[in-house]
Copies of this chain bind each other. A is one copy, B any other.
Amino acid sequence: MSTIPTDSVGLVQPQTLHFDEPLGLVSGKTIEQYDIVYETYGTLNANADNAVLVCHALSADHHAAGYHNADDSKPGWWDICIGPGKPIDTNRFFVVSPSNLGHCSGSTGPRSIDPKTAKAYGPDFPIITVTDWVNYQARLADRLGIKQWAAVAGGSLGGMQALQWAVQFPDRLRYAVVIASASKLSAQNIAFNAVARQAIMSDPDFHEGRYYDYDTVPASGLKTARMLGHITYLSDDAMGDKFGRELKNEQLNYDYGVEFQVESYLRYQGESFVNRFDANTYLLMTKALDYFDPAEKEGGDLAVVFEKVTAKFLLASFTTDWRFSPARSREIVSALTDAKRDVSYLEFESNYGHDAFLMKNDDYIDAFKAYMDNIEVSG
């Protein structure tokens, strides 16, 4: 970038907080102590009533908006939605964006050193659920002096955290923004995750998750998993528009190399992911997705779960998203309606599939902004 755009939060710096109090987990295990890395944008007001928690999805992290360096080629993952004048308007809101526990971007996760063994946790890092994330996020809020979020917002797995917040700490948020998400995975969703894990865990460089000790990474397994993930993030149409049957070279070679542009693109995506992401974290994130099912204890009746909810909800979905289709959002809307909660639902035309929640789209940005602008915060 030569100059940082004027509607950007600008240069930002991650911060880290250390937590000493053990965190009990849904699995029954405990994390004795941990670090959380996070970014903030905007300013917390005197009443601390303008804070918005942004929750990330599978492969994103704390860097949601702005730039770390003036020459960064890309801003944070949700920069289209966070900044001055944007939907999550940093002129009004104080945004908190943490990397989740279990992640590989600075918060404590499988790649971190286990103080008990002085080696990387690896497979000994416990399974973390969405409920656990909401618990550590509540502690983070405590440390930052935020008794109640103006809103908790996220897309995909991030939307699940926003939903869970409303269920778990009804008094601690006023709005839940749940975009391109679902109240639980379908069998097909679980199946895709199972294939991704199979690819990683059968890579001989995985070493049952202890690959750090072998100074290697299960690169080919993680690459396969990411390639597969990418297919599910894009729509059939989007892939068709972007690549069609365009060839990589001028003519067909009739061999097992790359023939089509779409193959080349997927390989590139897979390879670059391996350089920035940890395989154990990928496993952990897919498991958090699998396990999420807040209605399970109520026999699947989401409306019963929502009876205790006081937050107002914004649900949004995108027409070509087949990972978490509009129908999945409508299930949540319907349960909220049955529970007589306050819910707005927006369905946007988009060709970009699940990734649409990360893409520029005037209808989406404008409607999201209009909703957020109506959230009252003190002066």
Query: Restricting to A258-291, which residues have a CB under 8 Å from any CB of B?
Result: 258-260, 262-263, 266-267, 270, 283, 287, 290-291
- Min Cβ gap A253→B in Å is 9
**Cβ-defined contact, A195 with B227, below 8 A:** yes
Does A204 belong to the interface (CB within 8 Å)? yes
A123 surroundings in chain B (CB, below 8 A): 256
Given the known interface contacts A254-B26, A260-B290, A283-B256, the answer about A239 and B191 at a Cβ–Cβ threshold of 8 Å is yes
Query: Restricting to A283-312, which residues have a CB under 8 Å from any CB of B?
Result: 283, 287, 290-291, 293, 296
B228, B262, B267: the one contacting A190 at CB < 8 Å is: B262
A240 surroundings in chain B (CB, below 8 A): 186-188
- Min Cβ gap A356→B in Å is 16
A191 surroundings in chain B (CB, below 8 A): 227, 230-231, 239, 262-263, 266
**Cβ-defined contact, A245 with B202, below 8 A:** no
Query: Restricting to A1-59, which residues have a CB under 8 Å from any CB of B?
Result: 26-29
Copies in the complex: 2
A236 surroundings in chain B (CB, below 8 A): 186-188
A186 surroundings in chain B (CB, below 8 A): 236, 239-240
A197 surroundings in chain B (CB, below 8 A): 256
Chain B residue with minimal CB distance to A262? B187
CA distance A227 to B198 in the complex (A): 9
Query: Restricting to A187-209, which residues have a CB under 8 Å from any CB of B?
Result: 187-188, 190-192, 194-195, 197-199, 201-204, 209
**Cβ-defined contact, A192 with B231, below 8 A:** yes
A194 surroundings in chain B (CB, below 8 A): 227, 258, 260, 262-263, 266-267
Chain B residue with minimal CB distance to A197? B256
- Min Cβ gap A35→B in Å is 23
A129 surroundings in chain B (CB, below 8 A): 254
**Cβ-defined contact, A254 with B187, below 8 A:** no
**Cβ-defined contact, A228 with B263, below 8 A:** no
Does A111 belong to the interface (CB within 8 Å)? no
Given the known interface contacts A236-B186, A260-B187, the answer about A267 and B198 at a Cβ–Cβ threshold of 8 Å is yes
Instruction: Give me the interface of A with B, judged by CB distance under 8 Å.
Output: 26-29, 123, 126-127, 129, 184-188, 190-192, 194-195, 197-199, 201-204, 209, 220-221, 223-224, 227-228, 230-231, 234, 236, 239-240, 242-245, 252, 254-256, 258-260, 262-263, 266-267, 270, 283, 287, 290-291, 293, 296, 322
17 extra interface residue pairs, beta carbon distance < 8 Å, beyond A129-B254, A188-B240, A195-B231: A28-B254, A127-B254, A185-B245, A186-B236, A186-B240, A187-B236, A187-B243, A187-B260, A187-B262, A190-B260, A191-B230, A194-B266, A197-B256, A198-B270, A204-B204, A256-B287, A259-B291
**15 A-B contacts, Cβ less than 8 Å apart?**
A27-B254, A126-B254, A185-B245, A187-B236, A188-B240, A191-B227, A191-B262, A192-B231, A194-B263, A195-B224, A195-B266, A198-B224, A202-B203, A202-B220, A202-B224
